[in-house]
Amino acid sequence: MKFITKKSIPRRTFIKGVGATLSLPLLEAMIPAASAATRTVAKPVKRLGYVFMPMGCDQSRWTPGSENTLDTLSPILESLAPHKKHLTVLTNMELGPAYPGSHATSNSAFLSAARAKVTESSDYYLGTTADQVAAKQIGQETQLPSLELAMDLMETVGNCDNGYACVYQNNLSWSSPTTPLPAEAHPRLVFESLFGEGGTPEQRRKALRRRASLLDAVADDIRRLKRDLGASDRAKITDYLDSIREVERRIQKAESDSKDNPLPDLDRPTGVPAAYADHARLMFDLQLLAFQGDITRITTFQLARETSNRTYPEIGVSDPHHPLSHHGNNPDKIARMAKINAFHVSLFAEYLEKLKATPEGNGTLLDNVLLLYGSGMGNPNNHDHTDLPVIVAGGAAGGMKGNRHIRYDKPTPLANLHLTLLDKAGVRIESFGDSDGLVDEFYQPVSI
């Protein structure tokens, strides 16, 4: 390990052990020590995260009841109440390129704002997604330019939806119109990609077996580093390492449970937590660690795939999600679908709480990230791509104001929001997808 101990530590400091590489969170010792005043002013980096919710929602239970502000949250969004000052809900946004309307295009257009080529073969064609536009500019300064995560294995190929190849439904992120980036659903493999030295999955698994824990591999260097840090930085590193240790413990517990379970599991790889919520929380925690250690600044996360037939017994919904989304205006089915929507949002709310509880610079990690949560479908009963459920969360280092409800009088391209979030993160481009401007409200003062 190389680090400077007298006055400052480089921001891109790594601690390396056997088969392990550990990035550090932003510390006071990483800020040039010109004076006491400058040492207290950190300049955290800006990050972008995208969370995809499948199959739209019940807009009557989604749309906030108050105009301009979030003073009256809807039933689906009520778990977000503690975070209102970091939230904006946008109503009446649409994905024009997703029409004529399908589950495949709901997924593919969400981050690309591009029209998918109709094909069941390998000659698929879409567009570069917003996260990868950002990765090409601000992602090159980190160990991983971007991190793509999901909750489902994406092994299906061929035709998945009305003449569209499965690749459109399986992948949120595309680095070019012909290059989808597969997402990882296995927490262990994500953990190793963040903290291992790379190599193939099998090489990483062998490296894992050679050591009991990532933190055990770097313990001596951590102890030496902490001797040269102030009390605040020592506490911050301790909290960061405790979080890593807890994620490791949960992964190991899931792997142990799966070995003891004699039933075959065809839907998920060995080692994934059995309960959906536990799996999702683990994947959110891995994103938090990746941001905190500045391992990546760009993440995408698919809460479930389009046409998912997942059930949610932990919230009392035994119906598969996809059939519920085609509710035929049956009030009981709509209510159960809305319950799934609210469950997904509550997991996102937990993630925001953890970001808010993670100090960074003069604020928190939530202050220094922009997160887009939403779906590429509005009313799933009609395969509608208008009036999408869309939330923006975070502060992006002070550049965003919250407690807003922006309601457009007419359908407005979701691409405008992508263009705006890229701009707020320091990625300057003229246009994106079918954009026709920026979200002006994000550039105007707010008095609430």
Residue-level pLDDT at 90: 98
Q: Is the pLDDT of residue 351 over 90?
A: yes
Residue-level pLDDT at 35: 42
Residue 54 DSSP class: S
How does residue 39 score in pLDDT terms, banded at 50, 70 and 90? very low
Where does CATH 3.40.720 sit in the chain? 46-185+296-443
- End-to-end CA gap in the chain: 49
**Which regions of 107-197 does DSSP assign to beta strands (E)?**
147-150, 159-161, 164-165, 173-176, 179-181
For 365, counting Cβ atoms within 10 Å of its Cβ (0-12 exposed, 13-18 middle, 19+ buried), the class is: buried
What whole-number distance in Å separates Cα of residue 213 and Cα of residue 231?
A: 26
What whole-number distance in Å separates Cα of residue 246 and Cα of residue 379?
A: 39
The CATH class of 46-185+296-443 is alpha beta
Tell me the C-alpha to C-alpha distance, in Å, between residue 50 and each of 75, 124, 185, 288, 332. Answer: 22, 23, 16, 13, 31
| Residue with the larger pLDDT of the pair 20 and 48 | 48
What whole-number distance in Å separates Cα of residue 45 and Cα of residue 377?
A: 32
Q: Is the pLDDT of residue 170 over 50?
A: yes
**pLDDT one-digit tens code per residue, 136-145:** 999 988 889 9
Q: Is the pLDDT of residue 5 over 50?
A: no
Task: Tell me the β-bridge partners of 416.
Answer: none
Residue-level pLDDT at 226: 74
| Residue with the larger pLDDT of the pair 4 and 226 | 226
Residue-level pLDDT at 204: 54
How does residue 269 score in pLDDT terms, banded at 50, 70 and 90? very low
Considering the chain, what percentage of its residues have pLDDT values greater than 90? 59
Residue 117 DSSP class: P
Residue-level pLDDT at 134: 97
Residue-level pLDDT at 151: 95
Q: Is the pLDDT of residue 240 over 90?
A: no
Q: Is the pLDDT of residue 266 over 50?
A: no
At what angle are helices 130-138 and 414-424 packed, to 10 degrees? 10
| Residue with the larger pLDDT of the pair 423 and 13 | 423
What whole-number distance in Å separates Cα of residue 218 and Cα of residue 436?
A: 50
- The mean-pLDDT minimum among 14-18, 64-68, 200-204, 402-406 falls in 14-18
| Residue with the larger pLDDT of the pair 205 and 315 | 315
Q: Is the pLDDT of residue 272 over 70?
A: yes
Among residues 334, 304, 372, 380, the alpha carbon closest in space to that of 90 is found at 372
Would you mind telling me the total number of residues written for the chain in this entry? 448
Residue-level pLDDT at 18: 47
pTM: 0.83
Task: Tell me the β-bridge partners of 302.
Answer: 52, 150
How does residue 425 score in pLDDT terms, banded at 50, 70 and 90? very high
Q: Contact 217/211 with Cβ under 8 angstroms?
A: yes
**Best-predicted range by mean pLDDT (42-56, 215-229, 357-371, 406-420):** 406-420
- The mean-pLDDT minimum among 72-86, 265-279, 351-365 falls in 265-279
Q: Is the pLDDT of residue 361 over 70?
A: yes
| Residue with the larger pLDDT of the pair 183 and 246 | 183
| Residue with the larger pLDDT of the pair 381 and 40 | 381
Tell me the C-alpha to C-alpha distance, in Å, between residue 202 and each of 188, 198, 217, 227, 361. Answer: 12, 10, 19, 36, 38
Over range 20-25, report the average pLDDT.
66
Q: Is the pLDDT of residue 2 over 80?
A: no
Residue-level pLDDT at 192: 82
Q: Is the pLDDT of residue 154 over 90?
A: no
What whole-number distance in Å separates Cα of residue 279 and Cα of residue 292?
A: 20
**pLDDT one-digit tens code per residue, 288-347:** 999 998 999 999 999 999 989 999 999 999 999 999 999 999 999 999 999 999 999 999
Residue 46 DSSP class: P
How does residue 234 score in pLDDT terms, banded at 50, 70 and 90? confident
Q: If phi over 0 gives left and psi between -120 and 50 gives alpha, with beta otherwise, what is residue 14?
A: beta
Assign 16 to helix, strand or coil. strand
Residue-level pLDDT at 38: 43
